[in-house]
A and B are shown apart, each in its own frame.
Chain A
Amino acid sequence: NAGVTQTPKFQVLKTGQSMTLQCAQDMNHEYMSWYRQDPGMGLRLIHYSVGAGITDQGEVPNGYNVSRSTTEDFPLRLLSAAPSQTSVYFCASSIRSGPRSPEAFFGQGTRLTVV
């Protein structure tokens, strides 16, 4: 079972470069989301999607774009990388079976360093 797959696992960017973090899930989950994890700050929501063609902003969306053209894929784009975007990024997905008890499945994470 693949679950949630993120690529790449590690990436170093120069300031100003752009790149796309990939996320794919094979569980037919409607809900997908991106988080960044920084020391002492837990996980903060960047963007999320409740289904194909629908995206919305989370707590820290600036500097990131997303799209959801298929149920399976939810790429995160960094438009012009900045050192403040150095972080570990996690993609997650869950079934929207109701408001009370979705279990989120997480990818392995992408460790991004911007120099």
Chain B
Amino acid sequence: GNSVTQMEGPVTLSEEAFLTINCTYTATGYPSLFWYVQYPGEGLQLLLKATKADDKGSNKGFEATYRKETTSFHLEKGSVQVSDSAVYFCASYTGNQFYFGTGTSLTVIP
């Protein structure tokens, strides 16, 4: 079947620390992969995406690479800021449906 598994939270980091949030997927087809971010009280916003193997999505200093061999799409940022505090969702899209992970809450402290 289709599913997405991402790292449990919450994650608390100091400003300028390195961030990794792990995400793996299972899919019957060849999915597109996404990271969405949800700020408090708001809906989800697309952060980055990748549509084929070895593609790297990037935005606002965040990066994730589509790894078909490990079925992974880990989110990374070299130096987090307080404004990055949010919930991050990994998602796949295949067969007319999105499949979301459970979300990882990130808090960045000054």
A58 within 8 A of B: yes
Contacts A43-B100, A45-B98, A58-B97: A103 and B49 contacting too (C-beta < 8 A)? yes
Q: Is the CB of B51 within 8 A of A100?
A: yes
CA distance A112 to B97 in the complex (A): 24
Contacts A100-B32, A100-B51, A108-B42: A50 and B102 contacting too (C-beta < 8 A)? no
A87 smallest CB distance to B (angstroms): 14
Within 8 A of B (CB), among A4-30: 4
Residue with the highest number of chain B CB atoms closer than 10 Å, among A48, A100, A108: A100
CA distance A101 to B49 in the complex (A): 8
- Chain B residues with Cβ under 8 A from A45's Cβ? 97-98
B32 smallest CB distance to A (angstroms): 5
A102 smallest CB distance to B (angstroms): 6
CA distance A102 to B34 in the complex (A): 10
Query: What size tier do the contact residues of chain A reach?
Result: 20 to 34
Q: Count chain B residues whose beta carbon lies closer than 8 angstroms to a beta carbon of A.
A: 26
Q: Is the CB of A103 within 8 A of B102?
A: no
B93 within 8 A of A: yes
Q: Is the CB of B96 within 8 A of A90?
A: no
Name 10 extra pairs, CB < 8 A, besides A43-B44, A106-B43. Answer: A4-B43, A35-B100, A41-B102, A42-B89, A42-B101, A44-B100, A45-B97, A45-B98, A100-B51, A101-B32
